[in-house]
Structure 1
Amino acid sequence: MKDKPSDDWDDMERRRLLQLAALGAGGTVGAEALRRFADLAMTAEPRDINEWQVACADHLYALRKRPPAQVRDDLLYDLLTVRRQADQAHGRHKADLHRVTAALSILYINILTRLADHGAAVRWGRTATAAADASGDLSLRVLVRESVGGSGLYGQRHPATVLALLDQADHLAGSAVAAGTSGTRAKALSLLGRHDEALIALNTYVDHDTGPSPDLIPTYRLPDQVHFAGSWVYAASGDERRADESRAQVLSLTPDYQYTANVQLHEALCTVVQGGTEKGARQAAEVLAALPNAYRTNMITEVGRTVLRNVPIDHRDRSPVKDLAALVTTTPALPPAAI
């Protein structure tokens, strides 16, 4: 005869995990796959903090190298697993697992944003923020808000909302210079056309150490990120020389596929800003068309849309511009969840 209270508890836990998975997965994962995620998380063996650190590093590496739809499933499974493990933990171990939840959530938000599942990304932003706050780790609390803001720049939030999130991060940081937020702030100001302010924020980012990566994901901050911000901001302001220099720096550091495509789109953006509408639109279209569908993420196509938004209205009936418009409005079909 089954232990009825235990069965009831397991059923309640399974329903809670399923609700969490459904809330965070949005439209990218089907109902049957979500049930399998919840069942697997229910039977997963507990992991210590060192094992979770390896998992975080593996997910970050996968995010940078593989199509986002391939990375999504394993990451969601680990998020459900660590959330269940954290609920059952106590003391210092519980705080550590909150830190893991926040770190994995940062990566999952990035994946969801690449997949244009913005509603789910915003919901996991709240999860990441709550987990970081519960951990008591100040640097992680600041980093989560910076990262949530950074994802918001790709068609997910109004840039003014991103600036408000960065203000919260800076308030938490207190007297310390939150250089990482300065890079995201520069990009948001650039999207708003506030180029002088964007340059000031960029200089703050360049002049200060961005700080160490979180110990759970030690390769989170890479040298190419400062140059990437420069490529973005200089291109949007039409500063071709400095945009070219920043782009060359990024490409010399062997960036992931997304940075490679986006700095090339920055070049097209700079061309359009300088008045070369047809040439810039053609450059952007070529970058997008060259990408396999699985790698043409929302974080790339949104930069293509930025190029398009900078085309003067009376030039939008030109053939290269129409070609670009067709590419940035086409969403490649996503494969179903593998688990």
Structure 2
Amino acid sequence: MPARDTTRTAAILRNRHNTGGYTVTGLAERIREVAPEQIRRELPSRRDLERTIRGHEAGEHSVGPRYRLLYALAYGTTEDELFAPSESEQSGRGSHQGTDTPHDWDEMERRRLLLAALGLGAGTFASSGEAVRQLLDLAVDSESRSIDDWVMTCVDQLHGLRTRPPLQVRESLSVELLALHRQLKTTRDKDVPELHRIAAALSTLHANVLTRLGEHGPALQWWRTAKAAADASGYLDVRMMVRTEEAGFGLYGQRDLRTVFRLVNAAERLAGDRPSFWKADLSGTRAKALSLLGRHDEAQRALHLFVHYDGTDGRASVFPTLWTFDQPHFAESWVYGGAGKEAEAGRAREIVLSHNRPGEYLYMTNVKLHAARCTIVNGGIDEGARMAAGILDALPIPYRSQLITETGKAVLGTIPGEKRTRPAVREFAELLVKTAPAPNALPTA
């Protein structure tokens, strides 16, 4: 790195440090906290890390790709935003943008670190030659995609999320995120807000898949990334989409329920005072959380707003296929099943099952688990436990995501403690432990 660039980077880091409220020790601890696990293992001791920070801020040595990534993560931003050139520097460079060639060793290192930040190791792609092909294609093809192409990418990744094991989806999605990162680095026109919209959508899907794999720490970091991208886009619907998804996924063991309520309340304030689809959707999340707490009357009142909202705003404004018609009925199955209302839960369940789309399995599995919970609530403990065990046992292990096992835990949690020694209940509990998310399990051919 030229001396002038080192001096400029040092000034940026000093300024950010002075305004960020960290001591050098605090910044070192923050870097360790946010570093992806693979990178964290390679970091020096805290004292040496503090010396490195001081050296960077003094301009004594350049900041390589590893530390550029870590500083961006620590300050809750991106590399491009943290180290962005000023307007005068941009004009001095002219209109030419770098070609980002794969022969640049710094760029190769940056991609390796990005893979680590995505939660991927060097052996991640060993099981799939297609993923390796995609990475090679990314390295040699510099052509940017149109916004329409990126929207189609979102649709394809969402379809994969609904029909394939989570680990396979993470593999494919990670390649797309790398491609988007590359295009964002070289885009300086009206497409930037649209690409931030795409970044928010793909980051949301990545947080989704990490949640399904039970990798909650990385998932929480990706929710933050998704919100930052959504806010940068300037689109209220995109900001609301990320926040409603974040609150909803918090119900599956990712957060305590008080935090879920706080997320719902904060998102409602962002939505404003007028009725909207997003506020109705958030009311559905509140209903599910209240159901898990056993506050069934309150849950049903919150559910009513979600099920009976008749507006059309927001549903397809981010990308098509995000909204599906059976989502309110899935919420009904959850809430009425938890309250022991067989008839209402059964009607909702049949609607969801009749809306079955080829290959989709999450809703179909969980509404059946809702039925088992309803049976237990109404006194059929052995019958409900056997139902739930049969549902899990019939699902191949790679598909048993956190969203399914947490629903199974809710079924088990309905059974009073003194009844859990029954053979049928013990068998279900043992199966539930064995069926916890297996992020490294891919289906065999």
Q: TM-score, normalised by structure 1?
A: 0.90
Percent identity of paired positions between Structure 1 and Structure 2: 45
Task: Report Cα offsets for 1:195-221 as digits up to 9, x if no partner.
Answer: 222112110101214644344521111
Alignment of 1:227 with 2:329, yes or no, is: yes
What's the offset of the Cα at 1:236?
A: 0.9
Structure 2 distance, partners of 1:294, 1:34, is 17
Residues 298, 148 of structure 1: alpha-carbon distance in 2 compared, 3 angstrom cutoff: same
Structure 2 distance, partners of 1:277, 1:114, is 28
Alignment match of 1:203 (pick from 298, 304, 324): 304
What are the equivalent positions in structure 2 for 1:175-254 lying under 5 Å apart? 175-177=273-275, 178-208=279-309, 209=311, 211-254=313-356
The answer to whether the 8 A contact 1:60-1:217 is kept is: no
Q: What letter matches 2:337 in structure 1?
A: A
Residue in structure 2 matched with residue 64 of structure 1 by the alignment: 162
Alignment of 1:18 with 2:116, yes or no, is: no
Residues 67, 205 of structure 1: alpha-carbon distance in 2 compared, 3 angstrom cutoff: same
The answer to whether the 8 A contact 2:353-2:364 is kept is: yes
Q: What letter matches 1:97 in structure 2?
A: L
Structure 2 distance, partners of 1:175, 1:235, is 31
Task: Report Cα offsets for 1:128-168 as digits up to 9, x if no partner.
Answer: 01000000010110110110111111111112111111112
Structure of larger gyration radius: 2
63-72 vs 211-220, which moves further: 211-220
Residue in structure 1 matched with residue 220 of structure 2 by the alignment: 122
Residue in structure 1 matched with residue 129 of structure 2 by the alignment: none
What's the offset of the Cα at 1:242?
A: 0.7
Residue in structure 2 matched with residue 108 of structure 1 by the alignment: 206
Structure 1 distance, partners of 2:396, 2:370, is 19
The answer to whether the 8 A contact 1:231-1:247 is kept is: yes
Alignment of 1:97 with 2:191, yes or no, is: no
Structure 2 distance, partners of 1:148, 1:217, is 17
What's the offset of the Cα at 1:8?
A: 11
Structure 2 distance, partners of 1:293, 1:274, is 30
Q: What letter matches 2:239 in structure 1?
A: R
What's the offset of the Cα at 1:250?
A: 0.7
Residue in structure 1 matched with residue 244 of structure 2 by the alignment: 146
SS at match of 1:311: coil
105-114 vs 308-317, which moves further: 105-114
The answer to whether the 8 A contact 2:101-2:139 is kept is: no
The answer to whether the 8 A contact 2:376-2:414 is kept is: yes
Residue in structure 2 matched with residue 279 of structure 1 by the alignment: 383
The answer to whether the 8 A contact 1:22-1:34 is kept is: no
* Unaligned stretches of 5+ residues in structure 1: 1-5
The higher-RCO structure (CA 8 Å, 6+ apart) is 1
The answer to whether the 8 A contact 1:179-1:210 is kept is: no
Residue in structure 1 matched with residue 256 of structure 2 by the alignment: 158
The answer to whether the 8 A contact 1:101-1:131 is kept is: yes
Residue in structure 2 matched with residue 303 of structure 1 by the alignment: 407
Q: What letter matches 2:307 in structure 1?
A: V
The answer to whether the 8 A contact 1:146-1:180 is kept is: yes
What are the equivalent positions in structure 2 for 1:21-60 lying under 5 Å apart? 21-25=115-119, 29-33=120-124, 41-44=138-141, 45-60=143-158
The answer to whether the 8 A contact 1:237-1:273 is kept is: yes
Residue in structure 2 matched with residue 292 of structure 1 by the alignment: 396
SS at match of 1:275: coil
Residues 41, 155 of structure 1: alpha-carbon distance in 2 compared, 3 angstrom cutoff: farther
Alignment of 1:323 with 2:418, yes or no, is: no
The answer to whether the 8 A contact 1:145-1:165 is kept is: yes
The two structures, once aligned, show a CA RMSD in angstroms of 2.4
98-107 vs 29-38, which moves further: 29-38
Residues 248, 23 of structure 1: alpha-carbon distance in 2 compared, 3 angstrom cutoff: same
What's the offset of the Cα at 1:84?
A: 2.4
SS at match of 2:258: helix
Residues 222, 133 of structure 1: alpha-carbon distance in 2 compared, 3 angstrom cutoff: same
Q: What letter matches 1:108 in structure 2?
A: H
Structure 2 distance, partners of 1:53, 1:204, is 30
Structure 1 distance, partners of 2:313, 2:414, is 34
Structure 2 distance, partners of 1:206, 1:254, is 19
Structure 2 distance, partners of 1:12, 1:188, is 47
The answer to whether the 8 A contact 1:308-1:325 is kept is: yes
The answer to whether the 8 A contact 1:213-1:220 is kept is: yes
Q: What letter matches 2:202 in structure 1?
A: L
What's the offset of the Cα at 1:182?
A: 1.3
The answer to whether the 8 A contact 2:184-2:195 is kept is: yes
* Unaligned stretches of 5+ residues in structure 2: 1-99, 127-131
Residues 16, 145 of structure 1: alpha-carbon distance in 2 compared, 3 angstrom cutoff: farther
The answer to whether the 8 A contact 2:212-2:402 is kept is: yes
Alignment of 1:79 with 2:170, yes or no, is: no
What's the offset of the Cα at 1:314?
A: 0.3
Structure 1 distance, partners of 2:411, 2:178, is 38
Residues 40, 149 of structure 1: alpha-carbon distance in 2 compared, 3 angstrom cutoff: farther
What's the offset of the Cα at 1:32?
A: 4.1
Q: What letter matches 2:408 in structure 1?
A: G
The answer to whether the 8 A contact 1:41-1:84 is kept is: no
Alignment match of 1:270 (pick from 374, 383, 390): 374
- What is the aligned length? 330
Residue in structure 1 matched with residue 233 of structure 2 by the alignment: 135
Structure 2 distance, partners of 1:231, 1:212, is 24
150-159 vs 132-141, which moves further: 150-159
Residue in structure 2 matched with residue 3 of structure 1 by the alignment: none
